[in-house]
Amino acid sequence: MTESESPQLEGTELIRDFCTRLPGKPGVYRMYDAKGNVLYVGKARNLKNRVSNYARGVGHNNRIALMISLTAHMEFVTTASEAEALLLESNLIKKLKPRFNVILRDDKSFPYILIAKDHPVPQLAKHRGARNRKGSYFGPFASANAVNQAINTLQKAFLIRTCSDATYENRTRPCLLYQIKRCSAPCVSFVTPEDYAGLVAQAETFLSRGGGPVKAELAQKMEEASNLLDFETAARYRDRIQAMSFVTQSQGINPQGVDEADVFALAQEGGQTCVQVFFFRTGQNWGNRAYFPRTDRYASESEILAAFLGQFYDDKPLPPLILLSHDVEERELLEEAFCTHAGHKVEILVPQRGEKKMLVDHAVTNAREANGRKLAETSSQAKLLAGVAAAFGLDAPPRRIEVYDNSHIQGAEAVGGMIVAGTDGFMKSQYRKFNIKQPEVAGDDFGMMREVLTRRFSRLLRETGEGVEAPESETPLWPDLVLIDGGQGQLSAARAVLEELGIHNVPLAGIAKGPDRDAGREHFYQEGKASFMLEARDPVLYYVQRLRDEAHRFAIGTHRARRSRAIGINPLDEIPGIGPTRKKALLQSFGSAKAVGKANVADLAAVDGVSRQLAQAIFDHFHPDSK
């Protein structure tokens, strides 16, 4: 059920009018302001009773009172149960990011270890995103570094390949990983398919059940080899056991009584909240990550943690046990919703003693330390942004700075890059790349900048309209300052683009490299004033240099990635019917794709696996004019 309301009513009057028609069913409600921005998303066991509380007009704190006064529109969705309403609420909060809700700032997914089985010889790989590859997934891990360390251990212990399928298909001799005893070289048949399958099975057992069963099996084989005086084989088993043992020895905490659980600890200081999350799988610590959710100063620890949990597990697998530093409201309802979402029992505990309490206390300590570091960084960042405002004549410290740069080699693979920085430092989730679409401007720095800025601000106008303001706790969508890598010419080109789009209130500045491209001697350009320099030891100068260098790094990296992909493209990949096996056979027969293109139909058909019809298709692909 979805409703809308007459624009004449607002605040408590609008809410009171809705209450006369609301059902006494569980569901989710959304509150909007006059511009259509979502103010708040909430769930209720009984929509009529819950929304009626807002219509009383008294007994609300300042935050709720402001939210009610701004409400000009409401929408409702009924659900089958309160647990379903809780899941929908968490999903909508994460998607819509309402101004008055607790918001989980989660800009990237967790990495997993994947044993891919979409190839006859399984591959060990790091994986993010949708699980669309066939295979076994293990995780989550807190960071890419934690996954890399685990993969490093798995290579030593189980000798499973990590190379791509294309690299595997084209190997004629073992690579360096075989020489340093990190791969069994299945690409050149140095291990039988049966033995390799055994290594994969051991790795899966290690990741799903821990190292105990696998180490016991290897210890027995080591002893058998030793008794047969096969000391070389025994030494290989010993090295694999030591590699597995290194995992548990290098972990900070490895609980004996907690096999699989997530630990959440909350710490507040200086108006800032940190939630520290630890992951334990197979009795091992798989890393931790600190989050700094956007919260209201009136929100309680229980309210923050409950909202955080609902959004955190919206798109992540749930463990059977969740340990918390603070009790949360409606814990039983959360458990019911999580059980429904996961398809298995999920228990939420606030331990008071024992090993579980020790794990939570350890997480709380880390949360407090992370919060302290964040506060120190924020204070330093605030001083730098105040300096930027003074240097470039801004009315207030900027909350969003956008920096643009271009990269190409004689017009080839031309790209533009935009990086974003603000009160929390670099915001990499906001970075954007622009593949130059107009071939006539590739290689023309002015033309490339015009295209990039036109595309960026045209889209911003379509999506938001000019001058949309964000609350103080959020990063605005519109920049408070735009920095262009270049001098007066680039600055004029950028201003012309914005003028054409009817944008007049975005401050622009150009950064021109100094004589001999010396860092520290940059000249800055702004409209209506002469070029200027900053003091050589001014922290603001170092900060702006960092912004410029980060934009340059991002643009160069994007350009190199495009160039590498272009170099790696093989013309044979574009021909239907040419897979890895036939491609390998053609390259072995002719030496290169260029030589394949020069071959006649008879020579192509002589290659093993290439029929006369396919040979003709290959010839036609390289000689389109001969048809």
What single string gives the DSSP state of each residue in 82-109?
Answer: HHHHHHHHHHHHHHH--TTS-B----SP
For tokens 């004629």, name the residue.
Answer: 172
Please state whether the peptide bond connecting residue 140 to the residue before it is cis, i.e. omega within 30 degrees of 0.
Answer: yes
State the amino acid at position 335 in one-letter form.
E
Q: How far apart are CA 241 and CA 216, in angstroms?
A: 9
The answer to whether 367 and 267 have CB atoms below 8 angstroms apart is yes
Higher local confidence (pLDDT), 468 or 210 = 210
For residue 4, is pLDDT > 60? no
Q: List Cα–Cα distances, 445 to 9, 120, 436, 451, in angstroms.
A: 53, 48, 11, 10
pLDDT band at 186 (very low <50, low <70, confident <90, very high): very high
For residue 592, is pLDDT > 80? no
For residue 16, is pLDDT > 60? yes
Q: Read off the pLDDT of residues 472-529 as tens digits, 9 standing for 90 and up.
A: 556 688 999 999 988 888 888 899 999 998 888 899 999 987 655 555 578 899 988 8
Sign of the CA dihedral 241, 246, 249, 252? negative
Higher local confidence (pLDDT), 412 or 381 = 381
Tell me if residue 229 falls in helix, strand or coil: coil
Q: How far apart are CA 384 and CA 386, in angstroms?
A: 5
Instruction: Report DSSP state, residue 421.
Output: E
Q: How far apart are CA 484 and CA 52, in angstroms?
A: 52
Q: For position 473, what pLDDT does the model report?
A: 52
- pLDDT mean across residues, the chain: 82
Q: List Cα–Cα distances, 597 to 169, 213, 579, 605, in angstroms.
A: 21, 54, 17, 13
3-state helix vs strand vs coil in the chain, percent to 5:
45, 20, 35
Instruction: Report DSSP state, residue 502.
Output: T
Rounded (10°) angle between helices 231-250 and 144-158: 160
For residue 250, is pLDDT > 50? no
For residue 607, is pLDDT > 70? yes
Higher local confidence (pLDDT), 357 or 563 = 357
For residue 398, is pLDDT > 90? yes
Q: For position 378, what pLDDT does the model report?
A: 77
Question: What's the mean pLDDT in 620-624?
Answer: 78
Q: For position 3, what pLDDT does the model report?
A: 47
Phi, psi of 33, rounded to the nearest 5 degrees:
-90, -175
Q: Provide the token pair at 616.
A: 């003709």
Q: How far apart are CA 241 and CA 226, in angstroms?
A: 15
Least confident segment among 149-163, 171-185, 404-418: 404-418
CB atoms within 10 A of CB 34: 11
Higher local confidence (pLDDT), 374 or 232 = 374
pLDDT band at 279 (very low <50, low <70, confident <90, very high): confident
For residue 469, is pLDDT > 50? yes
Q: For position 625, what pLDDT does the model report?
A: 63
Q: For position 6, what pLDDT does the model report?
A: 44
For residue 5, is pLDDT > 60? no
For residue 2, is pLDDT > 50? no
DSSP string, 60-88: --HHHHHHHHH--EEEEEE-SSHHHHHHH
The answer to whether 301 and 268 have CB atoms below 8 angstroms apart is yes
Q: How far apart are CA 560 and CA 401, in angstroms?
A: 25
For residue 462, is pLDDT > 70? yes
Question: What's the mean pLDDT in 528-553?
Answer: 86
For residue 70, is pLDDT > 60? yes
Higher local confidence (pLDDT), 613 or 471 = 613
